């Protein structure tokens, strides 16, 4: 398996318009939660974490008279804004895009529209090879699935760079109503539960390459990604079965098996969003792999910018990559992601010394 390097990252959330601003906001503990113009059944405002409208490109004129929903239009604006930024100055032939989109829920049409890539092509002029591009729709684990597919593309030798992205927006009334009905959303209601989370908005892109000369670097190090590990949790949050933590444990073990024996994990970035459900599986996975986790620090940035859904995996990798490079001695990180359905995934973010 060829080494996978991160060439560039671009992250947009309520906490900032690029990767570094998000990194420093999370390091400073800045919270972007706000009462939004969405309401609970008892007419109290739901708490969300929204990207400012002014941070996004306007919708293309050719798309203004379509029957797209507000949420789908916003996802197009978000995706085009991030893609134009990360591909600015791209030289050479167009490259494939593997896009992770929102997870589907029973009774709620929550996924990207089937024609999303075609709509993106109309929305912005991008050096993307659409015939080789794909969309995945498993929620928080989607970008790690995109990395697995990108690694196959790179290994095939037909491309030197692959763009992967994740986009999600909580501004979907039917989805919010379903979550509110289940008591999962933080709100201003005096009858609200403590065990809730704050939905957010995020767009993230990672430009991956097998060429070390193109890798992002700092202080004599560049960032590599292991092969991701995957698992499935029968006792997921919408299952009647009890959660035993099997899915995340399987994913973490598979990811750590790609890590050289002399390396241990000092930081774990997880998709935990404040709901108690996620703590058990995280504890199981960490305990069962404790021999590779030495006094690790647990980071859960949803506390800063909300739950980013399908953008979660890429956002965590972006923050982990910057966190790996910032200390005087670069450190290795583990990223763990869990979807609301059964999907679980993990990946190692590894600093590699650049030889003189």
Q: pLDDT for 187-245, tens place per residue?
A: 988 777 789 999 999 999 999 999 999 999 988 999 999 999 999 999 999 988 988 99
> Rounded CA gap, 177 and 108, in Å?
10
Same domain, 205 and 289: no
Whole-number Å distance between alpha carbons of 51 and 29: 17
Neighbour count for residue 265 (Cβ, 10 Å): 24
Q: What pLDDT does 356 receive? A: 60
Q: Are residues 247 and 128 in the same domain?
A: no
pLDDT score of 229:
98
CATH number at residue 19: 3.40.47.10
Question: Is this model's pTM higher than 0.95 or not?
Answer: yes
Q: What confidence score (pLDDT) does residue 326 get?
A: 75
Question: In sequence order, what E strands does the chain have?
Answer: 4-13, 34-39, 45-48, 97-100, 134-136, 161-169, 201-209, 217-218, 221-225, 229-232, 265-270, 293-299, 333-338, 343-353
Whether 60 and 192 map to the same domain: the answer is yes
pLDDT averaged over every residue in the chain:
94
Residue pair 327/315 in contact by the 8 Å Cβ criterion: no
Q: Is the dihedral of CA 312, 316, 317, 319 positive or negative?
A: positive
Are residues 235 and 348 part of one domain?
Answer: yes
Per-residue pLDDT at 84 exceeds 90: yes
Domain ends where: 214, 239, 272?
214
Residue with tokens 């973010």: 349
Q: Residue 274 — φ and ψ, nearest 5°?
A: 110, -15
Residue that is last in its domain, among 214, 249, 272: 214
User: Into how many domains does the chain fold?
Assistant: 2
Using CA atoms, how far apart are residues 68 and 224, in angstroms rounded to an integer? 38
Whether pLDDT at 1 is above 80: no
* Together in a domain, 115 and 180: yes
Report which secondary-structure segment, H or E, holds 77.
Answer: helix 70-86
Non-local CB neighbours of 113 within 8 Å, separated by 6+ positions: 68, 72, 119
In the predicted model, is pLDDT for residue 289 greater than 70?
A: yes
Paired tokens of 57: 């490109």
| Tens digits of residue pLDDT in 308-334 | 999 999 999 999 999 998 767 788 999
Helix (H, G, I), strand (E, B) or coil at 318: helix
Residues 172 and 190 in one domain: yes
Name the percent of the chain lying above pLDDT 90. Answer: 84
10 Å CB burial of residue 11 (0-12, 13-18, 19+) is: buried
pLDDT value of position 355: 82
pLDDT band at 106; cut points 50, 70, 90: confident
206, 295: one domain: no
Task: Identify the H or E element spanning 22.
Answer: helix 19-27
Q: Tell me the residue range of the domain where 343 lies.
A: 220-353
Whether residue 107 has pLDDT greater than 90? no
CA pair distance 84, 55, nearest whole angstrom? 13
Residue 196 and residue 225 in one domain: no
Classified as helix, coil or strand, 34 is strand
Average pLDDT, integer, range 2-28: 96
**According to the model, what pLDDT value does residue 262 have?**
87
Measured CA to CA, the distance from residue 1 to residue 252 in angstroms comes to 19
pLDDT of residue 93: 94
Check whether 2 has a pLDDT greater than 90. no
Is residue 342 pLDDT above 70, yes or no?
yes
121 closest CA partner among 174, 66, 60:
60
Please spell the DSSP secondary structure of 93-129, one letter per residue.
S-B-EEEE-PPPBTTB--SPPTTHHHHHHHH----B-
For residue 122, what pLDDT band results from cuts at 50, 70 and 90? very high
Mean pLDDT of 158-175: 96
Out of 181, 214, 247, pick the residue that ends a domain: 214
User: How far from 199 is each of 168, 192, 248, CA to CA, in Å?
Assistant: 10, 15, 22
């Amino acid at each position: 398996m060829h080494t996978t390097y991160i060439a560039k990252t671009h992250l947009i959330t309520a906490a900032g318009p690029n990767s570094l601003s998000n990194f420093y906001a999370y390091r400073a503990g800045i919270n972007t939660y706000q009462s939004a113009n969405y309401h609970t059944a008892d007419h109290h405002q739901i708490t969300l974490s929204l990207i400012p409208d002014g941070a996004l490109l306007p919708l293309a004129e050719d798309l203004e008279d379509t029957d797209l929903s507000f949420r789908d239009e916003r996802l197009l604006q978000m995706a085009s804004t991030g893609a134009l930024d990360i591909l600015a100055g791209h030289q050479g032939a167009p490259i494939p895009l593997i896009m992770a989109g929102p997870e589907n829920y029973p009774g709620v049409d929550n996924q990207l529209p089937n024609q999303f890539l075609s709509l993106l092509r109309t929305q912005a002029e991008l050096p993307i090879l659409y015939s080789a591009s794909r969309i995945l729709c498993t929620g928080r684990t989607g970008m790690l699935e995109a990395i697995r597919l990108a690694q196959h593309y790179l290994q095939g030798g037909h491309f030197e760079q692959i763009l992967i992205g994740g986009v999600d927006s909580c501004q979907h009334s039917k989805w919010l109503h379903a979550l509110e009905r289940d008591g999962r959303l933080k709100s201003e209601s005096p009858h609200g539960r403590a065990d809730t989370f704050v939905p957010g908005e995020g767009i993230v892109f990672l430009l991956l390459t097998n060429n070390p000369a193109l890798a992002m670097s700092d202080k004599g190090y560049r960032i590599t990604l292991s092969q991701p590990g995957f698992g499935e949790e029968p006792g997921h949050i919408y299952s009647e079965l009890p959660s035993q933590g099997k899915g995340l444990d399987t994913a973490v073990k598979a990811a750590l098996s790609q890590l050289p024996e002399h390396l241990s994990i000092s930081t774990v970035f997880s998709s935990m969003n404040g709901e108690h459900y996620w703590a058990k599986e995280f504890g199981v996975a960490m305990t069962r792999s404790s021999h590779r986790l030495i006094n690790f620090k647990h980071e859960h940035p949803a506390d800063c910018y909300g739950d980013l859904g399908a953008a979660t995996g890429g956002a965590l990798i972006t923050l982990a990559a910057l966190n790996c490079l910032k200390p005087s001695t670069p450190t290795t990180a583990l990223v763990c992601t869990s979807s609301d359905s059964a999907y679980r995934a993990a990946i190692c973010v590894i600093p590699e010394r650049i030889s003189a």
